[in-house]
Amino acid sequence: MRKRILEIVPSAQEVVSYGMPAFKVEDGVVCGLLSNKNHVGYYPFSGSILNLFPDELSRYKVTKSAIHVPVDKPMTKALLSKLIRARMKEIKAK
């Protein structure tokens, strides 16, 4: 997933935010990742982004702040791009 994120936003800086590896673009963190035994947690660092894509995220376990992506069923690059672009748009609007 890290490789895909950097393909989508090659200018992203890899940082640590909230104790997890994260990706910063310009003035905001667009996402973070946490590895677990059976899934990778994708964190958009926003309480509203996950609500924008209910159909696309229906195949994943989604919490208030994260998507649990099974290690054997990676998220598509297209969906990852939608999530990142929505977060970048939100950051720019602030």
CB 5 within 8 A of CB 84: yes
- Return the CATH number at 15: 3.90.1150.200
Domain that holds residue 30: 2-80
How would you write the pLDDT of the chain (94 residues) with one tens digit per residue? 999 999 999 999 999 999 999 999 988 999 999 999 999 999 999 989 999 999 999 999 999 999 999 999 999 999 999 999 999 999 999 8
First to last CA, the chain: 27
- pTM of the full predicted structure? 0.94
**Three-state secondary structure call for residue 92:** helix
- Domains in the chain, number: 1
Residue 19 lies in a domain: yes
Task: Assign residue 46 a region (left: φ > 0; alpha: ψ between -120 and 50; beta: otherwise).
Answer: beta
